[in-house]
Amino acid sequence: MHPALLIALGALFLGGLLADIASRKTGLPRVTLFLFIGLAAGGAGFDLIPADLQAWYDVLSVIALTMVAFLLGGGLHRETLRRHGRAIIAISLAIVLVTLGIVSLGLTALGLPFGLALLLAAIATATAPAATSDVINQSGIDNGFTQTLRGIVAIDDVWGLIGFSVVLVVVAGLQGQQHLAGLSHAAWEIGGAITLGLVIGGPAAMLTGRLHDGEPLQIEALSLVFLSAGLSLWLGVSFLITGMVVGAVIVNLAAHHTKAFHEISHIQWPFVVLFFILAGATLDIAVAATLGGIGLGFVVLRTIARIAGGWIGVVVAGEPVRSGPWYGIALLPQAGVAIGMSLIAAQRFPDWGSQIIALTIGTTVVFEIFGPIATLIAIKRIKDGS
């Protein structure tokens, strides 16, 4: 092993520690600071991260996101669902549907073909569960707003994936391509993930948490994460949904303990720090700077759509209307799920491929950096009764 790799790991962990301290002093989300460290150390900055370490990004992202999904699923306790379930479903669905409508119509009005606009609108529904979850944790605020927000983050990418798959079929029809591959793939990715989550979560709920505290429990927690992630990738299903279902099953069936969640909370932090810093290292600010009017329109339209969708959702759910826009603002972060959608869309519609990928990567840079700041502002404003 090259010593530069170990030195870089130590330096990145130290940078993560300094970012955490700086976030406490400045009030900025530490996620944003991690991304800035990655930008400075990556190819867009001083190019200090060894290629061997950057190659770990894909693996680290799966591990970190599966841990986040597990903990988000753990927030879907039956008591939380009893109190906030209607709001979680109504707000998440409203935000996805309104985003599809406003972004697609707005981009069409700006001159894009309707099919391309619809694809970009479907990509706009994706969020960043890891960033949003970390900002909630950093805020230290546990109230009805953050509990509902956790539930929305846990399931909104499920609705987004369904919507994206339907849009693929619709656009294929508009282009004269008659096939249902998009829907069948979505059915397998979602249904298979739910089934796998139940298969892993059921026995885990009965068997875990019966050992002594300490290292055995850490091994239990890690085994759940790695099994969930690895089997999901092997079967070609969503590891995010699998992790969420495993967490939800355990928290609702394992009445004898909550240890699995405590252990994953303790273990996840080093993975999350590296994940965000390496994510920052992959960002290309130059792409964001060349977006032009369409890119700016996408950012504005997605922001408006999420605010409007949050407001409509709280009205439907019977929640306080003043909190509606803040749900949409809190859900502005966007990251890897959107990139994955863009790659699929570009492969399916190669004539639009370069536009889809460039616009998605560029706007993701914007939302990944500034989205967590918006999330923290929203959480604090609701806490303060604004």
- Cα 342 to Cα 279: distance, rounded to the nearest angstrom: 17
Query: Of 131, 134, 200, 192, nearest to 161 (Cα)?
Result: 192
3-state DSSP helix/strand/coil % of the chain, to nearest 5: 80, 0, 20
Domain-embedded: residue 34:
no
Confidence of residue 235 (pLDDT cuts 50, 70, 90): very high
Task: Give the model's pLDDT for residue 259.
Answer: 59
Residue 252 has a CB neighbour count (10 Å cut-off) of: 17
What residue has token string 């309707």? Answer: 114
Domain-embedded: residue 7:
no
Query: Of 384, 381, 386, 371, nearest to 130 (Cα)?
Result: 371
Pick the range with the lowest mean pLDDT from 213-217, 223-227, 248-252: 213-217
196: left (phi over 0), alpha (psi -120 to 50) or beta: alpha
Query: Of 221, 369, 271, 367, nearest to 62 (Cα)?
Result: 271
- Kindly state the DSSP code that residue 112 receives in the 8-state scheme: -
What residue has token string 């004539």? Answer: 351
Percent of residues, the chain, with pLDDT higher than 90? 19
**Number of H helices and number of E strands within the chain?**
17, 0
Domain-embedded: residue 325:
yes
Q: Name the residue with higher pLDDT: 126 or 300.
A: 300
Confidence of residue 383 (pLDDT cuts 50, 70, 90): low
Domain-embedded: residue 337:
yes
Model pTM score: 0.78
Domain that holds residue 227: 58-383
HSE at residue 145, side-chain half, CA atoms within 13 A, is 29
Q: Is the pLDDT confidence value at 209 over 60? A: no
pLDDT (tens digit per residue) in 152-202: 887 887 788 788 878 887 888 777 665 556 567 777 888 898 899 999 988
pLDDT (tens digit per residue) in 103-121: 999 999 998 899 899 999 9
Structure tokens of 54? 């950057």
Domain-embedded: residue 279:
yes
Q: Is the pLDDT confidence value at 82 over 70? A: yes
CATH number of the domain bearing residue 169: 1.20.1530.20
What residues contact residue 170 under an 8 Å CB cut-off, 6+ apart? 118
pLDDT (tens digit per residue) in 263-309: 777 788 888 888 778 877 776 666 666 667 888 899 999 999 999 99
Domain-embedded: residue 342:
yes
Domain-embedded: residue 52:
no
Q: What is the mean pLDDT of the chain?
A: 82
Domain-embedded: residue 207:
yes
Number of compact structural domains in the chain = 1
